[in-house]
Structure 1
Amino acid sequence: MEILMLFGLFLVLMLIGIPIAFSLGIASLSYLMMEGIPLTIIPQRLYGGLDSFVLLCIPGFVLAGNLMNVGNITDHIVRFSNALVGHIRGGLGLANVGGSMIFGGISGTAAADAASIGSVMIPGMHKAGYDKPFAAAVTAASSTIGPIIPPSVPMIIAGSLSGVSVGRMFLAGAIPGLLLGVAMMITVYILAVKRNYPKQKRASVKEIIKEGRSAFWALLMTFIILYGIIGGLFTPTEASIVASLYAFVIGLFVYKGLNWSNLPKLLVDTVLTSASLMILVGMANLFGWILTSQQVPQMVAEHILSFSDNPLVVILIINLILLAVGTFMETIAALIILFPALLGVATGVGMDPVHFGLMAVLNLMIGLSTPPLGVCLFIVSGIGKLPMLSVARAIVPFLICNLTVLLLVAYIPALSLWLPNLLMGK
């Protein structure tokens, strides 16, 4: 009964608009007081949730993403993508997806991708003759690719929770991320042909080379991060600092969108974003400790396995749970609360922890663009000044596309495991 009250209070607080970190904290505090558990456990669990060397890389990657965003990186990525595919029917939509794949691989967060790419592409696509809800839907759907293609903040969390190398988690997302991007491009093309969306003049080889050179420094950043981690040159935490220094130099001296006057605001935004994420991690750890102490993970595992011990059915149930949670709960909080319980179930039916971690993150990313509470939907509807309902209707074909890729990733382990096993050994 107490656990039901814990979940009930948490859901009520979240639905009335209380930030999820505080919803977790208030629900946990109420439970502890009702059970008579000493409140000294609160600072202990908050600190315990943050006391991880791997988590130190989150502020670094947030800073790197902000530096690249302010440094005009978005414009260069969009122009390069448009030069490659703009001549195809629906080319701006394809460029939108391509831009998200590149930018998302730098920022590692879906919200940053939706805001950055959306602010450029939604007005641009509408001006070129695309329906604004379609432009917003493409942006929201493709923004979820970012945390799948490395580097990725949710992958860092999943790696720390499972004890798996973050570098291995990063590699696991490469092929599914590319598959997701290609599937979305196919969806865009089919819709563009059906609706007769415009196409642009084919770019010359000279123009493609010019835009490729312009975007080269952005592409190089992802390579440096991955090669450094996989090659053992630096840890993920050190990689985040290298990425920030690299982004600072490129933004200030190459792209020249960054200057000393906008640096203080950028640093403050980074501190606020990082602090909010860390508070969320700490509160989720407290909430998760309560669930663990009451053996909720074991109960979840028993209920799932009592329904069926067939691996195919168990994987389907896990996906349905994660998809449902991802539609209303913030990704990091959902990972911390659900990951340990579901990881035990998944490994119990033979899933590799890396495969499960990638599948879990992909589920929760799809939730960010799923009505009615997907965060990325709110971002793009705000940028496009559109009612949520119109964006929700337009995103349905992309949700079908994403769910198809999710099923492939869930039931074909090689899509996640082949690359990390090849480069880092089994």
Structure 2
Amino acid sequence: MFLAGVIPGILGGGMMMGLAYYLAVRYDFPREEAFSLRMLWEKFRAASWALMLPVIILGGIFGGIVTATEGAGLAVVAALFIGFVVYRELTLQHLYKCMVRASVQTAAVMLLVAASALLGLYLTEARLPQQMAQAILGLTDSPVVVLMLLNLLFLVLGMFLHGAAAIILVVPMVLPLVHQFGIDPIHFGLIVTLNLAIGQQTPPVASVLATSCAIAKIDIWTTTRANLPFIGVLVALLMLVTYVPSVSLGLVNWVYGS
């Protein structure tokens, strides 16, 4: 799954950068300073210790040393060490303020997650995901149409459910359908991931968007209007990944020789 996401991730990042550049030029956004390789090197040197955090997290996870949750905890310990000992800019007062601010922001997001969990419980009791999966199976026997309907299903669910809840509720229900139509499970996994990633920044739940807005202290609906072009880019990427399997499976097949 990780390898399958590398090329789509690079494509998505490039498309986002292109859109950001277009918007910056169109609306004449201010520039802080001119770009130069010397400045880039100086910033890189200054941030080199902080840039070790992704290395610690990903290296620990893919090295089989820690789980994802343990990796996050390890990164927190490393960040405290870097802040207190290496940079010497972090103080107990700063740490206290960060903890209070993080608690408030987490509480706001967890209220949305809790409501999403309740909705997920209701959907489970009502067996709506199962009914929708059966409805898809009864509508068509075309893999192209099935993939489109599955995209719509996960996009809608991602708007109202937290990602983990949507995966637990729906993926086991549609996997037999995926196997029946000969869709590669890794390909399908990446499709689900992209759908839920889009849903997590699309109200009303939008836990990722809510977290960003809580940090920036910006209204979520105002942010959503500005975010629509970027959501459009992600939807275009989703269609590319959905209907051109080699985008996600090419690197996997090359590495594993299948």
TM-score when normalising by structure 1: 0.49
Match of 1:178 among 7, 10, 15: 10
Determine whether 1:214 maps to 2:46: yes
**Structure 2: distance between partners of 1:282 and 1:189:** 38
Q: Secondary structure of 1:217's partner?
A: coil
**Structure 2: distance between partners of 1:422 and 1:265:** 48
Residue aligning to 2:22: 190
Amino acid at match of 2:241: V
Is the 8 Å Cα contact of residues 377 and 392 (structure 1) preserved in structure 2? no
Determine whether 1:249 maps to 2:81: yes
Amino acid at match of 2:213: V
Residue aligning to 2:197: 365
Residue aligning to 1:204: 36
Amino acid at match of 1:340: P
Pairing of 1:118-133 with structure 2 (within 5 A): none
Determine whether 1:380 maps to 2:213: yes
Amino acid at match of 2:4: A
Residue 207 of structure 1 and its aligned partner are, at CA, apart by: 1.6
Determine whether 1:350 maps to 2:182: yes
Percent of aligned pairs with the same amino acid: 37
Residue aligning to 1:409: 241
Is the 8 Å Cα contact of residues 130 and 170 (structure 2) preserved in structure 1? no
C-alpha distance after superposition, 1:366-396 (max 9, x if no partner): 12333566451685399465583x5443333
Q: Which moved more, 1:237-246 or 1:308-317?
A: 237-246
Amino acid at match of 1:189: Y
Residue aligning to 1:397: 229
**Structure 1: distance between partners of 2:256 and 2:90:** 37
Q: Which moved more, 1:398-407 or 1:365-374?
A: 365-374
**Structure 2: distance between partners of 1:265 and 1:176:** 38
Q: Which moved more, 1:252-261 or 1:357-366?
A: 252-261
**Structure 1: distance between partners of 2:220 and 2:60:** 44
Residue 398 of structure 1 and its aligned partner are, at CA, apart by: 1.9
Residue aligning to 1:305: 137
Residue aligning to 1:36: none
Gaps in structure 2 of 5+ consecutive residues: none
Pairing of 1:76-225 with structure 2 (within 5 A): 169-225=1-57
Residue aligning to 1:226: 58
**Structure 1: distance between partners of 2:232 and 2:124:** 35
Residue aligning to 1:328: 160
Is the 8 Å Cα contact of residues 8 and 241 (structure 2) preserved in structure 1? yes
TM-score when normalising by structure 2: 0.76
C-alpha distance after superposition, 1:280-306 (max 9, x if no partner): 898688557646xx5x55433321011
Q: Alpha carbons of 1:298 and 1:328: their partners in 2 closer, same or farther (altered >3 Å)? A: closer
Gaps in structure 1 of 5+ consecutive residues: 1-168
**Structure 2: distance between partners of 1:188 and 1:362:** 20
Q: Alpha carbons of 1:415 and 1:218: their partners in 2 closer, same or farther (altered >3 Å)? A: farther
Pairing of 1:16-35 with structure 2 (within 5 A): none
C-alpha distance after superposition, 1:2-57 (max 9, x if no partner): xxxxxxxxxxxxxxxxxxxxxxxxxxxxxxxxxxxxxxxxxxxxxxxxxxxxxxxx
**Structure 2: distance between partners of 1:371 and 1:348:** 33
Determine whether 1:314 maps to 2:146: yes
Residue 307 of structure 1 and its aligned partner are, at CA, apart by: 0.9
Pairing of 1:35-74 with structure 2 (within 5 A): none
**Structure 2: distance between partners of 1:391 and 1:371:** 11
Q: Secondary structure of 1:351's partner?
A: coil
**Structure 2: distance between partners of 1:370 and 1:406:** 15
Is the 8 Å Cα contact of residues 171 and 420 (structure 1) preserved in structure 2? yes
C-alpha distance after superposition, 1:99-119 (max 9, x if no partner): xxxxxxxxxxxxxxxxxxxxx
**Structure 1: distance between partners of 2:9 and 2:43:** 23
Residue 321 of structure 1 and its aligned partner are, at CA, apart by: 1.4
Amino acid at match of 1:193: V
Residue 199 of structure 1 and its aligned partner are, at CA, apart by: 4.0
Q: Alpha carbons of 1:256 and 1:317: their partners in 2 closer, same or farther (altered >3 Å)? A: farther
Q: Alpha carbons of 1:239 and 1:419: their partners in 2 closer, same or farther (altered >3 Å)? A: farther
Match of 1:260 among 76, 88, 92: 92
**Structure 2: distance between partners of 1:364 and 1:374:** 10
**Structure 2: distance between partners of 1:256 and 1:241:** 21
